[in-house]
Every structure is written in C-alpha cells, then in structure tokens.
C-alpha cells in the first residue's frame, strides 16, 4: 500500500481534489435518440472533480483528457473507479470540459496522459472512497479502520452493517478532504488490467452523434476556408461574384486569423494566416461556392520542391561530421582500424496526418466571450492563443472537447479553432468551420521529410566498434543522440541538422521516432548480418554491453527492460524455428517511455510478399485497459506499415501533388497483416503510454522481413517504390 | 431548389435541397442523420457508405434526387433492418479506435453479408478494400465480420 499525503502544498489544487461538497441539482445521465433526457438521477456528492456519486447507485466519472481514439476516456475513469472501489458496471463516463483549475494536463500528446495522471487520478478515487468511509464510520459510530469496501458498498463486519455509496453520500457533504489517503496495492487491482469496452463503442456503432462534424448548434452558419494553393503564397484579390450567386451563400470575405505581431506557438503553427472565407446555410452550397471563387494569389516566399529538399539534405548529411551532438570515444580512428565499413542512407517523405474526421470547430464569439466546441488535442493552448489574440481574459473562453475522429498530432495545432473564432467575430454569429478533405491534406502540419546516414565499423572478429549517425529534416532532424545504440558502442557520434522551409511541419504520431526507429533498426539488421550474427543475438549483445559497461554518461533507456522484452519476444514467436516459407524481421525501439519489440513474418505468394503475422512485445509497465492497449498496438502497427509502405506527400513549387485519397495512398484492408499477437511484460512498474510507441519500430521489422523474403534491402520510404523497382515518385 | 423525395430507414421524406446535393449531405443536413460520415467526398474512403436496395453505396457523390424511390438504409436504421448481429459483433471485438470510419465499415460489411452470407477471406478483403480506417482497425473489422457471420449475419 502506498500513502499519498494530500496536505502537501499545491497537491489538492493540482489534482482537482479541492472543492468537495454537496451538489444540489440534476444530472443528465442519458439521452434518447431524439435528444431528450432519458432519466434524471440526482448527484448527491461530488467528492472531487473526477467523481459524482448519484442517488441511483451509479457514479459518473469525469474524463479530463481529450479522446482522439487512444482510449483515454475509458482508461482514466478505470483508474479512478479502481481506487474508489466501485464496479465498472456502476460507472458512467463523461468528458470534462477544459477546466485547468480542476484538472492537470488536459492534453492528448506525447503518450503522456496515463503516465502523468496516474498518481493524481488514483488519489482522486482513493480520496472519494475515504470520504464515504468516514461518513459511514461517523454514522455507525465505529472506527473507520474497521470498514471495508467492495463494488460501491461499505461494510462493517463486526456490527454486520452495509451501506451503498449512493446512500451514505448524502451524509458525507461536510466531510473534509482527507489529509492522507492510501492507494491500493497493485496486486489487489480488480479493474486495472481488465478489458472493458471503449465507453463510446455503442454510440459509435449505432451512428449516434459524437463528433464535431455531427453537431448541430442553434443558429450556427457553416463556414469554409480557402487557403493558398502553394506554400509561400497569400491571397491578393478575390472575385466572389460567382460564389455569391450560389443559393444559400451568406458571405465571402478575407480574414487574418493570426496577426503577425502576436506570438502564437503551437496553435499558430500554420503557413496561412490569411484566408478567404465562405459562409452559408449548408455544407454543400458552401463547398460549391468555394469552388466558384476566383482568387488571385501572390508569392511571398518561393515555392519549394521535393527534389530540392532531397539534394539539400544529401549535402548536409554528407558533409564531414563536425560539432556532433554527442560523441563517445573516437569514431574516426575506429573506422580507420575497422575491417569492414557499412554506410547507408535512409529517407522518408512528408506525411499528412489525414485524420479521418477533417479539421472542424465550432466557435461563438459574443462580446468579450468565446464558446468553443470541437475536436482538439490541446484545449488549453487554444484558449491561451484566443485570449492573446482577442485581448480577453482566459476565464471568458470556454472549450468543450468532443471525441475526435483521429488526432495523430494534427489536432495539437488548433489554428482551425482560432479561424472559427475569427469568422464568428466577424459575422457576429456562431460558426461551424469545416475543412474539406483537400483543405485538410493541403493545409497540414506535416511529418517532416527526413534523411539520415548511418556508418558502422566492424572489426575482424565481427564486433561493432564504431557507429555514427547524421540526420536532417525539414525544420528539425530526426536523430535522438542519447537513445540506443548510444551506450552500447565504444566509438559513437550523433549529429542533427535542420532544413529551413516555408512548409509547415509538426508533431506526427511519435515525432522523429516515426522515422528514425525504422532506419536504425534496418541498419542494425544489416550490420548484424555483416558481423555474421543473428539479429536477435546481436541486439541482445549490444544491450548487455550497455547494461554491464555502458559507454558515455547519459543513455536514455533502460537496457534491462529491453533485454527482458527481447527475450520474451524471442520465446513468444519461437524465433529459432521460423516456419518454412516464412521470412522474419525484427525491430525494437524505446520512445515515449515505453519499450516495444516487433516481429513481422512475410510469405511470398505468387511472387508477391504477403504480411502474414506481426508480433508485438510491450513494456509499458502496468497495463490499464488490456484490450484497449492491444487495440492501440494494432493501430500503431498498421499505421507504421501503411505509411512506410505507401505514404508520400511531394511538393512542386510549393504545391502538394496529393490532395485527396485518389492520389494519396493509405493502407487498405487487404494489405493488413493477417494476424497480430500482442503481449506485455508484467513488471508492476508505474504505467506509461501507448498511443505512439507501437508505431515507430514496425517499418524496421517490415523492411528486415522483406529483405529476407526478396533479397532487397529497403532504404527509402515509401518502400513500395523500391520494392516494385519504380523510381521514387517526386511528384 | 427542388423538392426531393427520399426513402430512408423505411420512412419517406420530402426535402428541399439543391438539385445536385449529394445524398450524403441530404442525409446529414436535411434529415439530421449524421451517422453517415464525410471523409473525402470523392468516393475513395467509404466513410459515407449506406445501403441502397441492399447494396453498399457511397453517398458522397451521387445526387440525392437520383435515388428515386430506392430503399436507403443508414447506420441509424441498420439494427431495425437486419444488422443488429453485425453491430453487436463490432461491440464484442471493441473494434473502433477513433470510431469515425466505423459506420461506413459496418455498412460495407452489411452490404457484403446481404449479398454473400458466407464470404471467403478474399471476398471479405475485396468488399472492405474501399473503406479506409486511418486508425488501422482492419484486423478487428475482419474478426467482427466473422463473428457476425457465426451469429446469424445480416438479414
Ligand atoms: S466520403 Fe464518400 S467515399 Fe469518402
Ligand atoms: S477508427 Fe479511426 S478511422 Fe477507423
């Protein structure tokens, strides 16, 4: 049992535990399909911002973090329910709005929600339980220590009394928030580690409205934007006569969503502050009017080309290595002594996020107040930025987060919310801003295009004695200097360059890792082969080295956890006995505080490689929702395979060549592996996230399997071009 | 503006919309049936799939008025029209991640099972290839379809 002291300064506020008390009022607990409340239960007690105890024996648990498909709306309430000690059947979950005074870190990003909220939400649950127990102890005049709880009922064995949370809650209103609470011993967990369904699954499969795109708001007009056709341009003049002639069109105008003199990091990460706006009665008419606009654009900065990016990046990574970001030993000297040198370049193109639900947001600006609703990963940043731009207090800005039809990092950049607010302010009416798929794909914050060069030196005995990595990418390189293989190689150097660009780039599921993991793991596979070693043994040998005699000071991973995970994976997939006709590839990577090992099995059928099976070993510490975690892993694997295989955005004079799914290829149903088997290391370590970590390594496992199946090493994504011997399509 | 008659989930509606309004937007904005989703608008992603006389059909391109008196079933009407086992299988496998594509996936699967109650793996692949899931739930979708077949399929 772990004790948490709540009287520590700031903890109450920081965990949303302040402000208990009786809440009089009603609480909507459900809706019929026509939108009228189905039943009304009374909230009898709100011990803290996470918990509402209802009169009917149910509890409503608030989920503070935006749900983008990562399952957090199920996982966080599971943790609260565990410590509150109710059964999952008693729980209803509600999305909390942005409330920084009540909740910490209401953001979906970096796979950090579970890790960073773990202790505070456990504490919230435990504090709620303890307050109810105190009320029961007082009622029965018995010592609190003699009470036990189970599934929302408090028992006192000696006097043979029981009371439900709902019943005792009415008498707990004046109970103070406890100074100290005890958290459960993980071995007593009853909900954590099970597999309840996604709390929204019923509504999803029935088609009930959940998403921003689905919301109909009183008086809201539909708005769409038209942004310049190329990065580096802005609107010069607009001929809107044909657009205005379309029935149902209300207005056409230009806005500057982001004034140049206000610094708006993240939210304002967008190349097109000036936009042409069309508003109207319905989506179809506005779409038509958008097409009917005749806009003259002007060039501010020159449009860029993918081919130029490649040649500039080639220059950067092939320059002599000076001023490395990390250096151990003397790589140059070691290369001179080496028996074999392997040098390989890997690359990957820009990628759009392509959330299935395009960007959209509702805003209603009235005087100095703003009401927002929609899909966002970073509601607080939207509020900050809007307050700054409009010069209004933050408290005047409300943000309701809706279930997002995908995030992948795209909705960290809430410029579309600010755009909606600017439009609402301009027309004096509530607005629902919708991007078309083309707007979404061409006004992105892309995964940067990357290029990296690895060089390895191998001695006569087949030992890796030196390794260098030099990388670059648009607005930031992919190399993470202190990650593996740092620490495992005597002579090591890492260096990042960056390429300036007017193309907006940003975080895309597992930034940097989403490329560098695949490159590194492909390279190590080739190095293992050159060393004459089994790829699994070779990696284990490196981790052993890093564990027993680490090179350098700061290595950002725990080799022990890697070793345990690899050994487990080796056993699960029966590494030493690959079925005949199957070619197998391995990859392992650590990012966002979780460890992943992956295997891909490929079979050649009619001369074509088919993905037969993928295995995934996971060490993310304690697993909250087991099936939810497996779902994230499966998604990460498909995401990684799909994008490494097919994903490709190219630029010609600043214009994107792929504007919709007719030209942009996402992985399709038949291209998925036939089976995925996921397993977890059970080590009781505090949990870390899984939204991102399962994606980065898989391109490496895929490339390594495809090499064994086809004899061809793959270096440049999308792999499909190399695999089919086509020239890389530069658009 | 034209008056367009549509038969959706066994009810007949008269709506006022532009002649060229695609069925998708008529469903979503004129009838308030927002379960059918917009994903691409160019018949490439399958998010907007509905059943038209039992056949899985993209609703984002064809004008609403071209459907005449065809029987249209949307995700909202699927359970009452023989698709409940399919939806239950989707829940059993906890198939969705973000969920946005899933109505379209379910409707494509419904179309498949109506025409072919016992599809081979290859036939499932072919029927589902037109539906993108950006979150990568394909493995679960396949499992859900197989469970639905076992539990009575689509009537
Ligand atoms: S919206 Fe119709 S297929 Fe994409
Ligand atoms: S579940 Fe998110 S797009 Fe399919």
Where is the domain boundary, B77, B104, B123? B77
Shortest Cα distance, chain B CAs vs residue A484, angstroms: 28
Query: Per-residue pLDDT for B3 more than 90?
Result: yes
Residue B62: pLDDT over 50: yes
The answer to whether residue A319 scores a pLDDT higher than 90 is yes
Distance B102 CA to ligand 1 centre (A): 13
- Domain hosting A158: range is 2-206
A239 and A159 inside one domain: no
What band does A607 get if pLDDT is binned at 50, 70 and 90? Answer: confident
Residue nearest to atom 4 of ligand 2 (CA): B133
Mean of pLDDT values over A312-330: 97
The closest alpha carbon to B71, from B83, B79, B81, B62, belongs to B81
Specify whether the CB–CB gap between A526 and A520 falls below 8 A: no
Q: Is the pLDDT of residue A35 over 50?
A: no
In a domain, B155, yes or no: no
Contact A357 B97 (CB under 8 A): no
Crossing angle of helices B84-92 and B102-115, rounded to 10°: 130
Closest CA to A378 of A351, A352, A433, A415: A415
Three-state secondary-structure class, residue A401: strand
- Beta carbons within 8 Å of A215's beta carbon, 6+ residues apart: A209, A362, A373, A374, A402, A432
The residue whose CB lies within 8 Å of the most ligand 2 atoms, and thus the one to mutate among B94, B107, B137, B138, is B137
Residues B103 and B124 in one domain: yes
Answer yes or no: is the C-beta of A406 below 6 A from any ligand 2 atom: yes
Specify the pLDDT at position A37: 47
- For residue B74, give the nearest of B33, B42, B111 by alpha carbon: B33
Which secondary structure element, helix H or strand E, spans residue A365, and what is its range? Answer: strand A360-366
The 3-class secondary structure across A646-666, one letter per residue, is HCCECEECCEECCCCCCCCCC
Q: Give, for ligand 2, the residue of B101, B128, B130, B138 to mutate: max count of ligand atoms closer than 8 Å to Cβ.
A: B101
* Of residues A69, A195, A208, nearest to B135 (C-beta): A69
Cα(A350)–Cα(A503) distance, integer angstroms? 10
Q: What is the CA radius of gyration of chain B?
A: 15
The question of ipTM being above 0.85 is answered as yes
Chain B residue with the nearest C-alpha to that of A70: B97
Residue A41 has what pLDDT?
73
Length, in residues, of chain B: 155
- Segment A353-358 mean pLDDT: 98
Q: Are residues B71 and B88 in the same domain?
A: no
Q: Is B2 on the interface with A (CB under 8 A)?
A: no
pLDDT in tens, A374-393: 999 999 999 999 999 999 99
* pLDDT above 60 (res A24): no
**Mean pLDDT estimate for chain A:** 94
- The tokens describing B77, both together, are 């009407």
Can you give the pLDDT at residue B1? 86
Under DSSP, is residue A686 helix (H, G, I), strand (E, B) or coil?
A: coil
Q: Residue B6 sits in a domain of what CATH number?
A: 3.10.20.30
Do A223 and A186 lie in one domain? The reply is no
Of residues B39, B76, B135, nearest to A437 (C-beta): B39
CA–centroid distance, B47 to ligand 2, in Å, is 10
User: Edge-to-edge strands of the sheet including B49-52?
Assistant: B11-17, B2-8, B71-73, B49-52, B55-58
A504 pLDDT more than 90? yes
**Taking CA atoms, what residue in B is nearest to A640?**
B136
Q: What's the confidence (pLDDT) of residue A705?
A: 98
Domain-ending residue, one of B60, B77, B94: B77
**For residue B106, what is the enclosing H or E element?**
helix B102-115
- For chain B, the average pLDDT equals 98
Residue A462: inside a domain: yes
**Residue, of A20 and A668, whose pLDDT is higher:** A668
Q: Give me the CATH number covering residue A245.
A: 3.30.365.10
B104 lines ligand 1 (CB under 6 A): no
Shortest alpha-carbon distance between residue B51 and chain A (Å): 14
Q: Which domain holds residue B25?
A: 2-77
- Tens of pLDDT along A670-704? 999 999 999 999 999 999 999 999 999 999 999 99
- The string of pLDDT tens digits covering residues A621-654 is 999 999 999 999 999 999 999 999 999 999 999 9
**Torsion sign across C-alpha atoms A722, A725, A726, A730:** positive
Determine the distance in angstroms separating the CA of B59 from the nearest CA of chain A, rounded to an integer. Answer: 13
Sign of CA dihedral A412, A415, A420, A422: positive
CA A325 to chain centroid: 27
Distance A663 CA to ligand 1 centre (A): 14
Confidence of residue A553 (pLDDT cuts 50, 70, 90): confident
Quick one: A346 and A409 in the same domain?
A: no
Cβ of A631 within 8 Å of Cβ of B140? The answer is yes
Q: Is B44 on the interface with A (CB under 8 A)?
A: yes
Question: Measured from the CB, is residue B100 less than 6 Å from ligand 2?
Answer: yes
Residue A390, CA distances (Å) to A85, A258, A363, A393 in order: 45, 10, 13, 9
Residues A281 and A344 in one domain: no
Structural domains counted in chain A: 3
The confidence band for A16, taking pLDDT boundaries of 50, 70 and 90, is: very low
Q: How far apart are CA B28 and CA A360, in angstroms?
A: 16
CA distance A222 to chain B (A): 11
Of B77, B105, B130, which closes a domain?
B77
Q: Is a pLDDT exceeding 90 seen at residue A30?
A: no
The token pair at A445 is 């914050």
Name the percent of chain A lying above pLDDT 90: 91
Residues 23-42 on B with a CB inside 8 Å of A are 25, 28-29, 32-42
Compute the average pLDDT of residues B82-94.
Answer: 98
User: Which residue in B134, B138, B141 is closest to A355 by CB distance?
Assistant: B134
Joined tokens for residue A263? 């610094």
| A124 pLDDT tier (thresholds 50, 70, 90) | very high
Q: Which residues pair with A294 in a beta bridge?
A: A239
**Tens-place pLDDT, residues A223-271:** 999 999 999 999 999 999 999 999 999 999 999 999 999 999 999 999 9
Q: What is the mean pLDDT of residues A58-72?
A: 97
Among A8-12, A206-210, A369-373, where is mean pLDDT lowest?
Answer: A8-12
Classify residue B49: in a domain, yes or no.
Answer: yes
Look at chain B and report how many structural domains it folds into.
2
Q: What does A503-555 look like in DSSP terms, one character per residue?
A: S-B---SSTTHHHHHHHHHHHHHHHHHHHT--HHHHHHHHHHHHHHS--SS--
Provide the Cα torsion B27, B32, B34, B39; round to 10°: 50
Question: Residue A3 has what pLDDT?
Answer: 72
User: For tokens 């379809």, what's the residue?
Assistant: B145
> B136 vs A635: CB contact, 8 Å cut-off?
yes
SS3 A326: strand
Q: How many CA atoms lie within 13 A of A725 on its CB side?
A: 3
Shared domain for A385 and A327, answered yes or no, is: no
> pLDDT band at B36, cuts 50/70/90?
very high
Torsion of CA A506, A510, A516, A518, to 10 degrees: -130
Tokens found for residue A455: 């060089």
Q: List all residues 6 or more positions away from A508 whose beta carbon is below 8 Å from its beta carbon.
A: A351, A353, A408, A409, A410, A445, A446, A447, A514
**Helices of type H across A319-394:** 331-337, 379-390
Residue A729 in any domain: the answer is no
Whether residue A725 is predicted with pLDDT greater than 90 in this model: the reply is: no
- Any domain includes A67: yes
Task: For residues B19 and B73, state if they share a domain.
Answer: yes
pLDDT value of position A120:
93
Chain A with chain B: Cβ pairs closer than 8 A: 189
């Amino acid at each position: 049992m772990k004790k948490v002291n709540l009287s520590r300064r700031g903890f109450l506020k920081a965990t949303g535990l302040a402000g208990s008390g009786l809440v009089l009022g009603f609480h909507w607990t459900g809706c019929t399909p026509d939108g009228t409340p189905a039943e009304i239960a009374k909230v009898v007690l709100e011990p803290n911002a996470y918990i509402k105890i209802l009169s009917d024996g149910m509890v409503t648990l608030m989920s503070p973090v935006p749900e983008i498909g990562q399952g957090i709306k199920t996982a966080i309430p599971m943790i609260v329910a565990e410590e509150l000690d109710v059964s999952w059947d008693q729980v209803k979950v509600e999305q909390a709005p942005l409330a920084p005074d009540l909740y910490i870190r209401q953001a979906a990003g970096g796979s950090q929600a579970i890790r960073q909220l773990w202790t505070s939400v456990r504490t919230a649950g435990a504090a709620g339980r303890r307050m109810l127990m105190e009320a029961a102890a007082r009622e029965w005049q018995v010592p609190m220590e003699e009470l036990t709880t189970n599934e929302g009922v408090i028992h006192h064995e000696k006097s043979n009394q029981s009371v439900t949370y709902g019943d005792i809650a009415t008498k707990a209103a004046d109970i103070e928030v406890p100074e100290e609470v005890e958290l459960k011993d993980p071995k007593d967990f009853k909900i954590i580690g099970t597999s309840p369904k996604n709390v929204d699954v019923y509504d999803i499969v029935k088609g009930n409205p959940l998403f921003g795109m689905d919301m109909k708001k009183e008086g809201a007009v539909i708005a769409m934007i038209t942004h310049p056709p190329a990065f580096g341009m802005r609107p010069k003049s607009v001929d809107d006569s044909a657009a205005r002639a379309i029935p149902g069109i209300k207005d056409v105008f230009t806005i500057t969503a982001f004034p140049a003199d206000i610094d708006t990091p993240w939210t304002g990460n967008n190349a097109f502050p000036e936009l042409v706006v069309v508003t109207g009665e319905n989506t179809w008419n506005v779409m038509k009017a958008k097409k009917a606009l005749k806009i003259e654009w002007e060039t501010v900065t020159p449009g860029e080309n993918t081919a130029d990016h490649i040649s500039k990046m080639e220059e950067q990574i092939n320059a002599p290595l000076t001023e490395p970001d990390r250096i151990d030993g003397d790589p140059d000297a070691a290369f001179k002594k080496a028996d074999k040198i392997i040098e390989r370049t890997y690359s990957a193109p820009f990628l759009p996020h392509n959330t299935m639900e395009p960007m959209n947001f509702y805003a209603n600006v009235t005087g100095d107040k703003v009401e927002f609703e929609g899909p966002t990963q970073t509601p607080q940043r939207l509020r900050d930025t809007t307050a700054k731009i409009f010069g209004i207090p933050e408290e005047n800005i409300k943000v309701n987060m809706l279930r997002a039809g995908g995030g992948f990092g795209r909705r960290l950049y809430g410029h579309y919310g600010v755009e909606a607010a600017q439009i609402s302010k301009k027309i004096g009416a509530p607005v629902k801003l919708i991007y078309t798929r083309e707007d979404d794909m061409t006004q992105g914050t892309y995964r940067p295009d990357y290029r990296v060069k690895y060089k390895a030196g191998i001695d006569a005995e087949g030992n890796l004695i030196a390794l260098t990595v030099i990388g670059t990418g648009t607005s930031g390189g992919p190399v993470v200097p202190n990650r593996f293989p740092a620490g495992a190689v005597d002579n090591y150097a890492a260096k990042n360059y960056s390429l300036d660009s007017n193309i907006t780039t940003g975080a895309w599921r597992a930034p940097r890792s989403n490329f560098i993991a695949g490159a590194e793991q492909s390279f190590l596979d080739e190095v293992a082969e050159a060393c004459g070693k089994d790829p699994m043994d070779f990696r284990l040998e490196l981790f052993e080295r890093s564990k027993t005699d680490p090179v350098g000071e700061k290595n950002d991973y725990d080799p022990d956890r890697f070793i345990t995970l690899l050994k487990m994976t080796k056993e699960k997939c029966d590494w030493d006995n690959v079925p005949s006709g199957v070619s197998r590839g391995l990859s392992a990577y650590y990012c966002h505080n979780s460890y992943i090992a992956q295997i891909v099995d490929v079979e050649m059928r009619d001369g074509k490689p088919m993905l037969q099976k993928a295995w995934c070993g996971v060490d993310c510490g304690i697993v909250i929702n087991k099936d939810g975690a497996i779902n994230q892993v499966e998604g990460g694997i498909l995401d990684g395979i799909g994008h490494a295989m097919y994903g490709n955005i190219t630029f010609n004079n600043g214009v994107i060549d792929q504007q919709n799914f007719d030209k942009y290829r996402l992985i399709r149903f038949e291209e998925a592996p036939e089976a995925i088997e996921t397993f977890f290391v059970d080590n009781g370590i505090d949990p870390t996230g899984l939204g991102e970590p399962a994606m980065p390594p898989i391109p490496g496992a895929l490339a390594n399997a495809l090499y064994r199946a086809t004899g061809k090493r793959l270096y440049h994504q999308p792999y499909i071009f190399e695999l089919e011997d086509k020239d890389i399509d530069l658009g | 503006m034209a008056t367009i008659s549509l038969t959706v989930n066994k009810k007949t509606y008269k709506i006022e919309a532009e002649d060229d309004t695609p069925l998708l937007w008529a469903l979503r904005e004129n009838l308030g049936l927002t379960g059918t989703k917009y994903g691409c608008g160019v018949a490439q992603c399958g998010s907007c799939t509905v059943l038209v006389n039992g056949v899985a059909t993209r609703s984002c391109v064809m004008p609403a008025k071209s459907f005449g008196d065809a029987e249209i079933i949307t995700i909202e009407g699927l359970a009452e029209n023989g698709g409940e086992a399919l939806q239950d299988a989707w829940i059993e496998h906890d198939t969705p991640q973000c969920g946005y594509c899933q109505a379209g996936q379910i409707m494509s699967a419904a179309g498949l099972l109506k025409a072919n109650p016992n599809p081979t793996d290859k036939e499932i692949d072919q029927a589902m290839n037109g539906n993108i899931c950006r979150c990568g739930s394909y493995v679960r979708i396949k499992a859900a379809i197989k469970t639905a077949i076992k539990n009575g399929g689509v009537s």
